[in-house]
Amino acid sequence: MRLCEHDSYTSITKVLEPKYSTKEILLSKETVDGSNEHLVIRFAKESAFKEYGWCYMPKKMVQRQRVQPNGRGYVYVVPLSKREEFIGIKNCKHLQASLL
């Protein structure tokens, strides 16, 4: 997915890495429900970030995944295969419009 800095998105950086045994990402229900329609995820562990990079997920897709308890809260369990590569746009239409 391609987004520029002017588009509204929520950056999630609290996820350490995908769950090793099942290749799933656990996203806090509170974080997802209070976010914008675009979620950009960066894994906190350096090895996971090098392997997967920035990931994009639409909020509606995440909210269709199953919910399970995790500690004191609930999390969405999203398969790693549902992620899309995130590409930041440097020369966006917003920048071009401001130059006119």
Pairing of strands 38-41, 10-12: parallel
Domains identified in the chain, total number:
1
pLDDT of residue 86: 81
Model confidence at 100, in pLDDT bands (50, 70, 90)? very low
Q: Share the mean pLDDT of the chain.
A: 86
> Cα(87)–Cα(67) distance, rounded to whole angstroms?
28
Q: Is the pLDDT of residue 34 over 70?
A: yes
> Cα(61)–Cα(33) distance, rounded to whole angstroms?
12
Q: Is the pLDDT of residue 99 over 60?
A: no
Model confidence at 89, in pLDDT bands (50, 70, 90)? confident
Pairing of strands 84-85, 10-12: unpaired
Q: Is the pLDDT of residue 67 over 50?
A: yes
Residues sharing a CB contact under 8 Å with residue 58, sequence separation 6 or more, in sequence order: 37, 38, 39
What percentage of the chain exceeds 70 in pLDDT?
Answer: 87
Contact call for residues 56 and 76 (beta carbons, < 8 A) = no
**Whole domain around residue 88: which residue ranges?**
2-99
